[in-house]
Amino acid sequence: MIEGTVVDQRRAVYWHQRRQERMTPRKLLRESDELMFWLEECMVQRLRVVPGWLMPRLVTLLARADARLPREMGSERRPEQVVEFLYRAQEMLMDQSVRSREPAPIIPLFQ
């Protein structure tokens, strides 16, 4: 009986943690803000190419916003051009965020 309770608690904790780590459009927007900061830093420092450590994060974010964006970007690594793709991703994420926060349907209690 106690063993069953322990298994149930572990299962509940697992799903609670999974819910927290799920990437919602709002969390992706926060990530895009941070990436925008780093891209702006690249432009301020006049870097010609986005650093290698930043590209995987960018491509992942673009793919979560829309699967076509990373393909359209291709091998482009100039900060000025990559920022344009990030703007497009942010636009899509904002639309997704608004749609996901629509009110739930009202269920009548008494008929």
Three-state secondary structure readout of the chain = CHHHHHHHHHHHHHHHHHHHHCCCHHHHHHHHHHHHHHHHHHHHCCCCCCCCCCHHHHHHHHHHHCCHHHHHHCCCCCHHHHHHHHHHHHHHHHHHHHHHCCCCCCCCCCC
Binning pLDDT at 50, 70 and 90, where does residue 71 land? Answer: very high
**Tally of structural domains, the chain:** 1
In a domain, 53, yes or no: yes
In a domain, 49, yes or no: yes
Kindly tell me if the per-residue pLDDT of 20 is higher than 60: no
In a domain, 55, yes or no: yes
pTM across the whole model: 0.70
Residue-wise pLDDT for 86-107, tens only, equals 999 999 999 988 887 777 777 7
In a domain, 16, yes or no: no
Q: 70 lies in which domain range?
A: 24-100
In a domain, 6, yes or no: no
Kindly tell me if the per-residue pLDDT of 30 is higher than 60: yes
In a domain, 2, yes or no: no
In a domain, 111, yes or no: no
Residue 106 has what pLDDT?
79
In a domain, 105, yes or no: no
